[in-house]
Amino acid sequence: MARSDERNRVRYWQDRRVPGLRLLHADFKRHDYTPHFHEALVVAVTEIGGAEFHSRGVTGEAKNQALLVFNPVEPHSGRMGRSERWRYRSFYLRQPAIDAVTALVGGPGTPYFTNNLVPDADLVASFLRLHRALETDGDPLLAQELLTISFGGLIARHGGNRPRLSVVGRDRAAIAQAVALIHDEHANRLTLEDLGRASGLTAFQMIRLFKRATGLTPHGYLTQTRLVAAALRLEQGTSLADAALAVGFYDQSAFTRHFKRAYGITPLCYARAMRG
C-alpha cells in the first residue's frame, strides 16, 4: 500500500512468501518517530540522507548507506535532525518470519543484536538488493537466496548474547508484575496506583525502575502495547474505530496520531496493506 503527501512518500506491504514479514519503503522530508517498539525484529537500510536515532540511552546517526537493527520490543525513536531527506527500506520480522529465516540459515532460535548501528558495507548492499527483489515480487529462488545470504551474514557476523538486565532480583520481579498487568488490562484506564498494587512499588519507584527495565515509562509502554494490539485487530479486519476502542484509545484522532508517529503510516494505510 503506497501513500504520499507533499512531504513524504511511504509504501508498506506484507510479503506473500514469508509469513510474518512486512516491508516498508519510505521517503521522508519531514517525520519524527516517537519512542516506540515493535513485536518484530527490525532491520533498516538508509538509501539517501539520514536521521538521528535514540535507543538504549544512546543517540546515534544513521547516515547514507547505514544499517540499523532493533531487537523485538526494543524501544527506539528517530528524527530527521540535520538531514533534509531520509529515504530508507525496512524489514519487520515477526516470530514466524524469524523462525523461517533462522531455519534457512541454521541459527539457534531468535537472534539478538548487541549494537543498533551495524558498520558493514557488504550487508548494506545485500539488504538493499533483497528489499528491491521483494518489492518487485520477482524470481522466488533469487529472493530466497538473498534472504538467506543477507540474514545469514547479519546473524553470523553481528549476532550476540542477550545482556543481563540492569534491574535484578526483587525489583525485576516487581516490574514483571506491572508489565503483565499492562498487557492484561491495556484496554482499561490504568493508574500508577494500579501498577503499584501489582508490583508493591511506590509511584516514584515504579517510574524509575520501569524505565530502567523497559526503556519506556509506564504510560509510554501502555501506549505501545495498545498500538501493537490495535495493529493485530486491523490485520483481522476490525474497523479503525472498533480497533481503537477495543484497545483503549477513546479518541480516534489520538489513535491515528500515535500510530503514525510510531510506525510512519496511518492506521488506514496499514489496514489496506494487510488486506492486499
276 residues of the chain, pLDDT tens digit each: 555 566 789 999 999 889 999 999 999 998 899 999 999 999 999 999 989 999 988 899 888 889 999 999 999 999 987 888 999 999 999 999 999 998 888 866 788 999 999 999 999 999 999 999 999 877 888 889 999 999 999 999 998 777 665 565 688 899 999 999 999 999 999 999 999 999 999 888 889 899 988 999 999 999 999 999 999 999 999 999 999 999 999 999 999 999 999 999 999 999 999 876
Q: Rounded to an integer, what distance in angstroms lies between the CA atom of residue 227 and that of residue 100?
A: 25
Kindly indicate whether the domain formed by 169-275 is annotated with CATH number 3.40.50.300: no
Angle at the Cα of 65 from the Cα atoms of 53 and 264, rounded to 5 degrees: 45
Candidates 2.40.30.10, 2.40.160.40, 2.60.120.10, 2.40.50.140; CATH matching 2-158: 2.60.120.10
Are 72 and 16 contacting, i.e. CB atoms less than 8 angstroms apart? no
Q: Provide the grid cell at 188.
A: 482499561
Q: Rounded to an integer, what distance in angstroms lies between the CA atom of residue 36 and that of residue 221?
A: 8
Query: At residue 8, what are phi and psi to the nearest 5 degrees?
Result: -130, 150
Where does CATH 2.60.120.10 sit in the chain?
A: 2-158
pLDDT at 7: 77
Where does CATH 1.10.10.60 sit in the chain?
A: 169-275
Contacts of 178 (CB under 8 A, 6+ apart): 195, 198, 199, 201, 206, 210, 218
Are 82 and 21 contacting, i.e. CB atoms less than 8 angstroms apart? no
pLDDT at 137: 73
For residue range 11-67, list pLDDT tens digits in order.
Answer: 999 998 899 999 999 999 988 999 999 999 999 999 999 899 999 888 998 888 899
For residue range 226-239, list pLDDT tens digits in order.
Answer: 999 999 999 999 99
Q: Rounded to an integer, what distance in angstroms lies between the CA atom of residue 253 and that of residue 247?
A: 14
